[in-house]
A and B are shown apart, each in its own frame.
Chain A
Amino acid sequence: MTAHANHSEENKSLRPQEGPKRHIITFIVSIFLTALAFFAVAYMPESPFVIPFIVLIGLIQAGFQLYVWMHLDQKGHEFPTLGIWMGVFFVAAFIIVFIYWLGGY
């Protein structure tokens, strides 16, 4: 409807060093982390650390996805960032309560 799209602001938010470099680096690191996950399962199937380890590298990859590939680190993404972290906070609270006080047993 109304012309609220602010083109000059969008241009400003593109940093000068912005290029394919960060994408390539995170892509390679992500592949490396995925490979690590396969190795962990293949060589230490009995270890209790395998699942926490895979969850951890999964979180790192999710961070790459959000902040590098989906541009969450750029200007104008304050509300999505706030929303995501608020959701994470709420869900963390729910999980803590579920773990300790689910009740009914």
Chain B
Amino acid sequence: MAGHGHVAHSPKRHTGLMDWLTTVDHKKIGILYLVAGGFFFLLGGLEAILIRIQLMYPDSKIFIGATFNELTTMHGTTMIFLAAMPVIFALMNAVVPLQIGARDVAFPFLNSLGFWLFFMGGLLLNTSWFLGGAPDAGWTAYAPLSSAFSGRGVDFYVLGLQIAGIGTWLGGINFLVTIINMRAPGLSFMRLPMFTWTAFITSTLVLFAFPAITVSLVLLMFDRLFGANFFDAAAGGNEVIWEHLFWIFGHPEVYILILPAFGVISEVMPTFSKKRLFGYSAMVFSTVLIGFLGFMVWAHHMFTVGLGPVANAIFGVATMLIAIPTGIKIFNWLFTLWGGHIRFTTAMLYAVGFIPTFVIGGMTGVMLAIPTADYQYHDTYFVIAHFHYVIVGGMVLGLFSGLYYWWPKMFGRMLNETLGKWNFWTFFIGFHLTFFPQHFLGLLGMPRRVFTYQAGVGLESMNFISTIGAFLMGVGFIIFIWNVIVTNSKKKDAPADPWDARTLEWTIASPAPEYNFAQTPLVRGLDALWTEKMAGNKKMTPAEPLGEIHMPSASILPFLMSVGLFIAGYGFIYHMYVLIGVGAVIVVSCMFTRSFKDDPGWHVPIDEVERTEKEARA
């Protein structure tokens, strides 16, 4: 395909800011996702610290009432939609095409569009702080509180998440197509690296789960902005439908979050144990099973709604079933460690710290899956402790592990290991200090989302410890930022394979050249690079001759389109039809340009490929 039919027009290469706005390169989009996700993580973390400051002592009056509601709502919404999702997409963008031996994702333009939509949606949501107050109906935005009893903030929630959600959905489709169609020769599904497998299943979950949140946000938008009655029981509506639709999305969402972390752990453990992953096929099977079961358990968030004993029993048992594939994974990781030649790098520390922490979160999950017991736990700090153990103790530790592991491949520099260990221990100890006492606060009856508690009922000391822990987590994250700054000021000297690793991304230079693989590699076994290492080969066998490489053109259209939707979003929120029109015109004219302007891409000439490869080896 490459090199035939088209005349290679001279590559139009942007620099500076314009390069970042127009890039369709998956590696750069991965960095954009990481920076944006890191920024929102900082915001969400700040909100968390403010919540903990208010709860440090009983009867505090620092952030009360609506302000506290805004803080909890924005903490949850920001962390889930604007911090966790993009950092996952950052790793998927940075790693998946390299792990499957591809030169980019299947739809590079769509990839860029996905990022900018997410970013503009997140920005729209966060501008609410300056425009009359953030959303305050909880991150779950239950109707009718959100539909009839909340201020303009919830409009920002609806429009911001809708725009960001389109972006996430596009990203999911893109990775599905990429993994199905663009694997290197010899890379069958049962040879896929585990991270790519989890990215694949996560993308499937995105594909099926996000339409549910889209629908529920549309219903809420119509109720709020156009006077519809979907959630108005007096007019024949039903507010429980929001809970169903939200959790049909929301439960798969937590597996969307945790599965890539599982994938990271499954890459890091074999590398730093110098053993192949124990039970690879069982790992694949359990990932698929978790993804499937994730859709069948949503009503366990609604045990106290009054669905009745039959529904509660079915969903309770279905939920407990998920412990089985998860248990398979935990044991497989332990057996991977068993007898391995273990190196405790920071990435490995995070991976090892992940296991006991996640097991605690899983255990409380099974406790919550018992409907009768859930009546006691529901809406208490026990639930808060549970989901922070799985999301922070599971996903965030996994993502940190992945960042330390793939940082050299993304940026060409190794993160400092000493600072990394400080980062791990402060964050890890801070995490347990924050959330372990919250289990007992919950069992003592402290309700979530309430801005204060009384003195003298036994809640003071554990809340105080929890706040200290939150500060320590903050310190841990600042050490990480410091580590990034320190690392960034050094020269790019990371070797292609700094960890003696096993998969394809380590066969090419760090950071990867623009075209990734000068020649598509031939994969001859599970852990493609390790297979060659064991066969005594210095490099991969190429599957094609060296030729000029066809590349997609950079484009500003995704950015402009997202700006269009951003403007239209304000139009909807403020009922300013002119703005809606302006936004729509921008979006449609960008789509028109994209559809009718032929774009053959451009080619990297052979001599440039050879020069780049020679420089990388030098």
Which A residue sits closest to B515, measured CB to CB? Answer: A1
Contacts A1-B550, A79-B180, A86-B208 given; does A93 touch B296 at CB 8 Å:
yes
The 8 A CB mask of B94-111 against A (1 = contact, 0 = none) is 000000001110000000
- Scoring A residues 62 to 93 as 1 if CB is less than 8 Å from chain B, else 0, what string do you get? 00000000000000000100010011001001
Q: Is A103 a contact of B302 with CB atoms below 8 Å?
A: yes
B552 at the interface (CB under 8 A from A): yes
Chain B residues whose C-beta falls within 8 Å of the C-beta of A100 in the assembled complex: 311
- B295–A2 CB distance below 8 A: no
B239 contacts A104, C-beta separation under 8 Å:
yes
B239 (CB) vs chain A CBs: closest residue: A104
Could you say which of B148-156, B240-248, B361-369, B488-496 contacts chain A?
A: B240-248
Q: Are B102 and A1 in contact (CB under 8 A)?
A: yes
Chain A residue numbers with a CB within 8 Å of B486 are none
Most chain B CB within a 10 A radius of its CB, from A83, A98, A100, A104: A104
> Which of A3, A87, A103 meets B240, CB within 8 Å?
A103
Q: Are A4 and B181 in contact (CB under 8 A)?
A: yes
Contact-residue bracket for chain A:
20 to 34
Judge whether A35 is part of the interface by a CB distance below 8 angstroms: no
Q: Tell me whether A94 is interfacial, beta carbon within 8 Å.
A: yes
**Which A residue's beta carbon lies closest to that of B306?**
A103
Partner of A1, one of B104, B239, B241: B104
Q: In the complex, which of the residues A3, A83, A97, A103 contacts B305, with contact meaning CB atoms closer than 8 Å?
A: A103
B551 touches A1 (CB 8 A): yes
Q: Shortest CB–CB separation between residue A92 and chain B, in angstroms?
A: 11
A44 contacts across to B, CB distance below 8 A: none
Contacts of A98 in B (CB 8 A): 241, 244
A43 at the interface (CB under 8 A from B): no
Asked, given contacts A1-B551, A2-B2, A5-B1, whether A90 binds B295 with beta carbons under 8 Å apart, the answer is: yes
Question: Is B145's beta carbon under 8 Å from chain A?
Answer: no
* Contact indicator B299/A97 (Cβ below 8 Å): yes
User: Of all chain A residues, which has the CB nearest B552?
Assistant: A1
Name the residue on B nearest A78 (C-beta): B180
Asked if B536 lies at the interface with its beta carbon under 8 angstroms from chain A, I say no
User: With A1-B104, A103-B302, A103-B307 as given contacts, are A97 and B182 in contact (CB-CB < 8 Å)?
Assistant: no
In the bound complex, do residue A104 and residue B104 qualify as a contact, i.e. CB atoms below 8 Å apart?
no
Minimum CB–CB distance for A94 against chain B, Å? 6
Q: Which of B208, B238, B296 contacts A104 (CB 8 A)?
A: B238
Q: Which residues of A contact B346 (CB under 8 A)?
A: none
Annotate B233-272 by CB proximity to A: 1 below 8 A, 0 otherwise. Answer: 1000011110010001000000000000000000000000
The digit string for B514-529, where 1 denotes a CB below 8 A from any CB of A, is 0000001000000000
**Min distance, Cβ A47 to any Cβ of chain B, angstroms:** 27
The residue that B208 contacts in the complex, of A79, A90, A97, with Cβ under 8 A, is A90
By the criterion of a CB under 8 Å from any partner CB, how many residues of chain B are at the interface? 35
Indicate if the CB atoms of B239 and A2 lie closer than 8 Å.
Answer: no
Selected contact of A101 from candidates B239, B308, B520, B551, CB within 8 Å: B308
A102 to B416, CA, bound (A): 53
- A-side contacts of B520, CB under 8 Å: 2
Query: What is the bound-complex CA distance between A6 and B550, given in angstroms?
Result: 18
Instruction: Report the minimal beta-carbon distance from B98 to chain A, rounded to whole angstroms.
Output: 14
Choose among A3, A93, A105 the residue with the greatest number of B CB atoms under 10 Å from its CB: A3
Closest residue of chain B to A104 (Cβ to Cβ) is B240
With contacts A102-B240, A104-B240 taken as known, whether A3 is within 8 angstroms of B1 at the C-beta atoms is: yes
Give per-residue flags for B179-216: 1 if the beta carbon is below 8 A from chain A beta carbons, else 0. Answer: 01110000000000000000000001001100000000
Complex CA distance for A97 and B520, rounded to whole angstroms: 48
User: A35 CA to B223 CA in the complex, in Å?
Assistant: 39
Q: Which residues of A contact B204 (CB under 8 A)?
A: 83
Cβ-neighbour of B233 out of A1, A3, A93, A104 (below 8 A):
A104
Closest B residue to A82 by CB, please name it.
Answer: B204
In the bound complex, how far is the Cα of B176 from the Cα of A101, in angstroms? 33
Residues A102 and B241 in contact, CB atoms below 8 Å apart: yes
CB < 8 Å: which of A87, A90, A101 contacts B307? A101
Bound Cα distance from A105 to B1, whole angstroms? 60
Interchain nearest-CB distance for B304 vs A (Å)? 10
Once A2-B102, A2-B103 are accepted as A-B contacts, the answer to whether A102 and B238 lie under 8 Å apart by CB is yes
Select which of B244, B549, B550, B551 is within 8 A of A102 by beta carbon: B244
Q: Within 8 Å CB of A4, what residues of B? A: 181-182
Q: Which chain A residue has the least Cβ–Cβ distance from B212?
A: A94
Chain B proximity of A40: nearest CB distance (Å) = 29
A43 CA to B533 CA, complexed, in Å: 76
User: Are A97 and B311 in contact, with the CB atoms below 8 A?
Assistant: yes
Q: Mark B292-330, 1 if CB is under 8 A from A, else 0.
A: 000110010010011110110000000000000000000
Task: Give the shortest distance, in Å, between B330 (CB) and chain A (any CB).
Answer: 27
> How far, in Å, is B244 (CB) from chain A's closest CB?
7
Name B209's closest neighbour in chain A (CB-CB): A90
Which A residues touch B104, using CB under 8 A?
1
CB distance from A97 to the nearest CB of B (A): 7
Minimum C-beta distance from A72 to chain B (A): 16
- Quick one: which of A1, A94, A97 contacts B103, CB cutoff 8 A? A1
A residues touching B (Cβ–Cβ < 8 Å)?
A: 1-5, 79, 83, 86-87, 90, 93-94, 97-98, 100-105
B residues near A (Cβ < 8 Å) are 1-2, 102-104, 176, 180-182, 204, 207-208, 233, 238-241, 244, 248, 295-296, 299, 302, 305-308, 310-311, 520, 544, 549-552
Can you give 15 A-B contacts (C-beta < 8 A)?
A: A1-B2, A1-B102, A2-B544, A4-B181, A79-B180, A93-B296, A97-B244, A98-B244, A100-B311, A101-B308, A102-B244, A103-B305, A104-B233, A104-B241, A104-B306
Closest 7 CB pairs of A and B: A104-B240, A3-B1, A101-B311, A101-B307, A1-B103, A103-B240, A103-B307
- Other than the given A79-B176, A101-B308, 6 more pairs (CB < 8 A) read A1-B1, A2-B103, A4-B181, A97-B299, A103-B307, A104-B238
